[in-house]
Each structure stands twice: as C-alpha cells, then as structure tokens.
Copies of this chain bind each other. A is one copy, B any other.
C-alpha cells in the first residue's frame, strides 16, 4: 500500500490524496462502505461500485465465526468469495469483541469470548486476529486493540481501565507487528496501528507517540463515537489527527454522520467507515444534503417527489417517489431498504467527492451551502454506530 498526498492545507488542515493498494487505488478523503459479514447488506458489489465506493470494509469478528478463515482461504480470500475486486480493509475484531458483549475473559494474552452462534469459547489474540485477517486477504489490516467501553459510573475505575487498555493496546500492537512481519501475502497486506486514549488529550498524544513509533503504512484513531457527544468527538479528532504522521493516511474508525465526517476531514482525517448509510437505509431513513428523512412518517405518504432532485442514485434516477418509499417501508418490503441503502451510499460518496473538490480551493462557505446537513450537530449522532 502506498499513500500519495496531493494537497495539504497546512499541518492541521484538510488534505487530499490517493491510496494505492494491490486491488486498485482510490482518492481520499474516502468513505469506506461497510460489508460486515462478506456483503454490504442488501446490495450487490456491482451496485456498491456504482455508488462510487472505492474500498469496502470487512469484519474479522464476524468472518472468523462465519464462514471462518479456513473456508475463506479455500475460497481464495474474501475478494473472490464476495466478488469484490477492489480494495478491502478488515477491522481486527477488537471493537466487536468488546462491544457485542459475549466476553468470557480478558487477559494479557487476548480475549476469550463465547461464540453467540453455538456457545463455543473462542480465543482471540493479536496473533489470531492478524492470522485471520491474512486468511481473509484484505489489502489493509487493523491491529487488534483493547477497547473497553468509554466512561462508567466510577470515574477512577474507568480511568484505571482506560490506562490499562492503552498500555495493553501498545503491547498488543508490538505482537501484531511482529506476527505480521514477513507474513500476509508476501507483504502485500498493509497493517495499520490504532491510536486509543479516550477523551483525554494527554493520553491521545501519548498513544500517538507509542503507536507511531512503529513505521506502519497508516494509522487510525479508535475509541471515538463510542458514546461521547459531538463536541468531544470534534475536539479529540482536531487534537489527535495533526499529531499523526503527515505522509500516512489517517483513519477515523466508525465515524459517522455527514457533519462528523466533514469536521474530521477539516482536521486532516483521510479515511472513514460507518454503518449509518446502510443501517439507516434499512430502517427507513434517507440522508439528504438538507438533512435526514424518516420515510415512515405520514407526510411522506403523499409526497410524490424523489428523495433529492439533484441525486444520481438508482432510487432518484429511477423516479421512485417518497410516497412509494413510504409505502415500501410501511409494508416492510425489502426493496425499501435496498433503495434507501443505495441512495444513502451514493449520498456519502457524493459528499466525499465534494469534499475532495473543495479542499484545494478552500471554498467552505459554498460547500456548506450545498450541504446544510453538515453544519450543525444532529440529534442522536453520538450513538455508537460502528459494528
């Protein structure tokens, strides 16, 4: 993997670039479409490609359990299995193990959790996460980190747990790096480190130093949008991103709403992923430049406009009205979720394309007049939406 920086607006400002991987290149800032269990829910890879997506995200936690790394290896890797020939990034499984809540034991070696499908105990260590990611065959792999939930009732205990997690994450990163070295499809798979540190700026700075002491092809900011409010997300990202190496891509994991993404891009972040466009699509929500629409609501029953006049997604170009989408959502018809997913994915790609076009000239007023949804905080956007 190589990162080519095209434009940087100062050390702490927005940047444009290109990421080159063995499965092709894509421009940054980029939104990575989430395909958790080997599929972007409800849509074909061809349809995903047509939204403008340059890279997909797969999930080690889910793929480890089903279909399992042995089968994926026999299938020739995830690219071949799911018929997506573009770049793939795999998450390490760390976040899911900690957030999906079937943990049996956490120790220095790794995590033991109960397989929710059959009750078996599964051992997930830094080495096993990386080995699984090798089997999956993604172009970018993520280090396995300790990511306990933010906060808690006892601040002192939470602080203690957070400190332990940081230190352990660094020891686990050492192990990930050591295990990955010389493996991973002859060095064609790139390992990214993850900066933790919660909402404390000092901790974030210390993590950047520890993680970036490894010369890796990219680095991520983890532990963001795990329950804190929008202001805290903005503050931590604006603090952390500029501390990270300028010549490597910076990936803000699991974020977020259009406005969160725009704010983070302006702080120098290059890569994003989030389940919002797909999950909200399936639950009957459309993102638009003007804000979100909840199609189930009564006013849409007789609204014969398309979602957005200016949109070139299959739902808008196809002429499907809000009234029709309301009908599909009310009936629980699959096609409603499919069309809204396609629209939302395309909207995110349109947003990223406009960000990339705006960064060199810096005409942000004009940008925000096109994207009112990116201006203010929106209700509920701090919710954990990564999975």
Chain A contact residues, CB within 8 Å of chain B: 37-44, 46, 66-67, 71, 74-75, 81-83, 301-302, 304, 314, 318-321, 323-324, 327-328, 330-331, 333-335, 337-339
Contact = CB atoms under 8 A, between A and B. Distances in A.
A324 to B, nearest CB: 6
A318 B82 CA distance: 10
Contact of A320 (B41, B83, B324): B83
Contacts of A321: 75, 81
B67 A318 contact: no
A74 B304 CA distance: 9
B319 A83 contact: yes
Contacts of A318: 44, 46, 83
A331 B43 contact: no
A59 to B, nearest CB: 12
A44 B50 CA distance: 15
Nearest to A335: B39
Contacts of A83: 318-320, 324
A104 to B, nearest CB: 23
A42 B338 contact: yes
Nearest to A324: B81
Given A66-B327, A321-B75, A338-B338, A41 B333 contact: yes
A38 B75 CA distance: 38
A133 B66 CA distance: 47
A381 to B, nearest CB: 25
A40 B319 CA distance: 17
B335 A75 contact: no
Contact of A75 (B43, B44, B323): B323
Contacts of A331: 37-39, 66
A37 B38 CA distance: 30
A304 B327 CA distance: 39
Nearest to A336: B39
A83 B320 CA distance: 7
A336 B175 CA distance: 37
